[in-house]
Amino acid sequence: MTVRRDLVGAVLAVSILAVAPPLVGSSYLVGVLTVAVIYGLWAASWDFMSGLTGRENFGFALFIGAGAYTAGFLDTLAHLSPWWGLAAGMAAAALFSLLLGFPTLRLKGPYFALAMLSASAIMQRLMLIFWETTGGEEGLYGIAPLFSSPLAYYYFVLAATVASVAFLVMLARSPWGLILRAIRGDEATCLAAGIDVTFYKMVSLIISAAFGGLGGALYAHYQLQVSPQLFSVVTTITVIIMVYVGGMGSIYGALGGALLLTLLTELLRDFGQWRLLVYSLTLILILFFLPGGLVAPLWRRLRGGGGR
Amino acid sequence: MSALLRADGLGKRFGGLRAVKQVSFELAAGEITGILGPNGAGKTTLFNLLTGFMAPDEGRVEFAGKVLTGLAPQRVVNLGLARTFQLCRPFVGMSVLENVMVGCLCPRVRADGGGAARAMELLRMVGLERKAQTPAQLLPYGDQRRLEIARALATRPRLLLLDEPFAGLGKAEIDPLSDLIRRLHAQEGLTLLIIEHKLREFMKLVTRVIAMDFGEVIAEGDPEGIVQDPRVIRAYIGGTEDAHGAA
């Protein structure tokens, strides 16, 4: 019953996203929505690991950057078909998550969050230190587009994101998701229930990283340029705020939060110099009055019934 | 008689404190054994050593012919040795049913399938079936104990270790829980090892008692014998000959 309503809701939301650009007929909106949907993919990926297991990843930008730079290098240096960049971006981000998760995920306390934060900061510095290959502050540019028409690319990004988020939602509602939520509840009890906690955290981080990397590669082929800023903690924090506004642990809420906040930023352009202030105030109000987030709790209410 | 569990010379140090020293004992399949001892006698540490939550400094543990020493806790559970915690630790934010389902997902039983249905069956066994959808952290304390037991049973153990199952429970909750433990023993053929303080309930439940004090086994025997044992009386009451006479 609730599953059917969820499906109806998802079809409605995706239809609105699909018909809005041709109806409005503005190329500006196509650009804004492309970025919004990519942020949605990042937020959903972050939520899959950190929202479900409660292990906040403050270095998620590392996976975004790894995906984007890998796609960029493949295109500008190796001159392979740009489509390879998407798969390679996913693989590179997954590899980084394996290298970082293996030593840090077995630790208790804030070590995972701190190690990830440091790793992303180090990557940002490395991009500057090895400027001869990475392009330094300017990064890589002249990346080939995947489609000549921005609208076609938007539809491609939308389709990739919808498929990824649907996969993550299904996984989150499967026994896998149940185990990840149990890890959030109590690790020792998980061990007493015979669950290999480190293994599940590790695999969920790899999945989260892979989709973050896919988003990074999609972003590279949209901007046609990548810069070290992608690795910055600001990128991670932006994604985390989107998840909080969407409602943690629901995955689809994160996508909604990303769309909401990206559109809000654009709507606030009229405020000029006051924009950041109004934006921050709105955020504080949302999080203060709705600590559980906005999108997912609202949808649960509209839909009725139990579940997530 | 082949032992289901064999502890041999177990020892654990915390700094200068020897919490468990030279503990050896055997459990036969089908027994209900109790571990008796005052606070700080090393009972919970012993449980942690047996279940892999702590690694012993010395000695070894054998279970059903396999050496457990050095195995991670989830590996021990998957060999058929489950435990409950003294302080209930349900998965916060999940329903009672979901709590038990997590136990049904461990490799030992996952292949058997039937996740939710089997979890529901276990809730019926411990008498929580009507609270299946309640958030676990909202259960009263006595029900949380039952939930702990159901979650442990979900891993289909051969040996179940209960850490002070009666602690913090009122008279009205103790008898039904004793009955539940007896039923698990009789119907499910479960072997049990129980840590307890509440002497009266405990002595009615167990067939054999291992008494501990200062990290050592000080006496072993049937419940009637053990309460007469001067070393046990000394550990509990602290007297010498007078206490012996008074008992």
Which of A179, A190, A192 lies closest to B152 in CB terms?
A: A192
Instruction: Please give the backbone phi and psi of residue A110, each rounded to the nearest 5 degrees, phi first.
Output: -85, 10
Q: Do A186 and B103 touch (CB under 8 A)?
A: no
Q: Do A188 and B91 touch (CB under 8 A)?
A: no
pLDDT score of B236: 78
Alpha helices by DSSP H, listed for chain B, are: 43-51, 73-78, 96-104, 107-110, 115-126, 141-154, 171-188, 199-205, 223-228, 230-237, 241-246
Domain membership of residue A78 (yes or no) is yes
- Exposed (0-12), middle (13-18) or buried (19+): which is B93, by Cβ within 10 Å? middle
Which of A186, A194, A196 lies closest to B91 in CB terms?
A: A186
Q: What value does the mean pLDDT of chain B take?
A: 90
Give mean pLDDT in consecutive 10-residue pieces for chain A, a chain of 308 residues. Answer: 88 94 90 97 98 95 98 89 93 97 87 95 96 91 92 97 98 96 95 96 98 98 96 96 95 96 91 88 90 90 79
Q: What is the dihedral of CA B11, B13, B16, B18, to 10 degrees?
A: -40
Domain membership of residue A297 (yes or no) is yes
pLDDT score of B112: 81
Long-range contacts at B138-143 (CB < 8 A, ≥ 24 apart): B139/B90, B139/B96, B141/B88, B141/B168, B141/B169, B142/B169, B142/B170, B142/B173, B142/B177
3-class secondary-structure state, position B37: coil
Domain span at residue A15 reads: 2-303
pLDDT surpasses 60 at B178 = yes
3-class secondary-structure state, position A133: helix
Task: Residue A248: list chain B partners with CB under 8 A.
Answer: none
CA nearest to A263, candidates A251, A250, A245, A249: A245
CB pairs under 8 A between A and B: 81
Q: Do B89 and A306 touch (CB under 8 A)?
A: no
Which of B53, B77, B133 lies closest to A193 in CB terms?
A: B77
C-alpha distance from B104 to closest chain A C-alpha (Å): 8
CB of A164 closer than 8 Å to CB of A178: no
Is the Cβ of B80 closer than 8 Å to some Cβ of chain A? no
CA atoms of A221 and A143, how far apart (whole Å): 7
- For residue A158, the one-letter residue type is L
C-alpha distance from B229 to closest chain A C-alpha (Å): 35
b/e string for B143-153 if b means 16 or more Cβ within 10 A? bbbbbbbbbbb
- Which CA distances in Å does B216 have to A230, B7, B32, B67, B161? 60, 13, 20, 22, 19
Domain membership of residue A23 (yes or no) is yes
Domain membership of residue A308 (yes or no) is no
CA atoms of B86 and B101, how far apart (whole Å): 21
Task: Residue A195: list chain B partners with CB under 8 A.
Answer: 74, 102, 105-106
pLDDT score of B244: 42
Sign, Cα dihedral of B70, B73, B74, B78: positive
Which pLDDT band, with edges at 50, 70 and 90, does B239 fall under?
Answer: low
pTM of the model: 0.92
Angle at B88 between CA B84 and CA B90, to 5 degrees: 100
pLDDT score of A1: 67
Domains defined along chain B, listed by start: 1-80+168-247 (3.40.50.300), 87-156 (no CATH)
Report the phi/psi class of residue A53: left, alpha or beta, with left for phi > 0 and alpha for psi in -120 to 50: alpha
DSSP letter string, A44-75:
HHHIIIIIHH----TTTHHHHHHHHHHHHHII
Q: Do B91 and A181 touch (CB under 8 A)?
A: yes
pLDDT surpasses 70 at B245 = no
CA atoms of A124 and A139, how far apart (whole Å): 11
* Polymer length of chain B: 247
CB of B36 closer than 8 Å to CB of B202: yes
Is the Cβ of B236 closer than 8 Å to some Cβ of chain A? no
Nearest residue of A to residue B102, measured between CA atoms: A179
Nearest residue of A to residue B76, measured between CA atoms: A194
pLDDT surpasses 90 at B247 = no
What pLDDT, in 10s, does the model give residues B2-61?
A: 789 999 999 999 998 999 999 999 999 999 999 998 888 999 999 999 999 999 999 999
Which of B51, B74, B93 lies closest to A195 in CB terms?
A: B74
DSSP letter string, B155-175:
T--SEEEEESTTTT--HHHHH
Domain count, chain A: 1
CA nearest to B164, candidates B218, B104, B205: B205
Task: Residue A179: list chain B partners with CB under 8 A.
Answer: 102, 105
Q: Do A192 and B78 touch (CB under 8 A)?
A: no
What pLDDT, in 10s, does the model give residues B95-120?
A: 999 999 999 999 999 888 778 899 99
DSSP letter string, A275-294:
HHHHHHHHHHHHHHH-TT-S
Domain membership of residue A6 (yes or no) is yes
Interface-testing mutation among A106, A108, A179, A190, with chain B (most B C-beta atoms within 10 A): A190
Cα of B125 vs its chain's centroid, Å: 18
pLDDT score of B143: 94
Which of B90, B99, B103 lies closest to A194 in CB terms?
A: B103
Is the Cβ of B96 closer than 8 Å to some Cβ of chain A? no
Q: Do A181 and B94 touch (CB under 8 A)?
A: yes
B11: tokens are 């020892």
Is the Cβ of B87 closer than 8 Å to some Cβ of chain A? no
Which of B53, B133, B151 lies closest to A193 in CB terms?
A: B151
Is the Cβ of A188 closer than 8 Å to some Cβ of chain B? yes
CA nearest to A104, candidates A61, A56, A64, A69: A56
Q: Where residue A258 sits, what CATH number does that domain have?
A: 1.10.3470.10
ipTM of the complex: 0.90
CB of B11 closer than 8 Å to CB of B21: yes
Is the Cβ of A185 closer than 8 Å to some Cβ of chain B? yes
- Which CA distances in Å does A286 have to A281, A291, A295, B182? 9, 8, 11, 53
CA atoms of A43 and A240, how far apart (whole Å): 7
Q: What is the dihedral of CA B185, B36, B54, A115, to 10 degrees?
A: 90
CA atoms of A179 and A183, how far apart (whole Å): 6
Strand partners, B11: B58
Q: Do A182 and B106 touch (CB under 8 A)?
A: no
Q: Do A193 and B155 touch (CB under 8 A)?
A: yes
CB of B176 closer than 8 Å to CB of B125: no
Q: Do B115 and A175 touch (CB under 8 A)?
A: yes
CA nearest to B203, candidates B166, B239, B172, B169: B166
Domain membership of residue A282 (yes or no) is yes
Which of B73, B108, B133 lies closest to A191 in CB terms?
A: B73
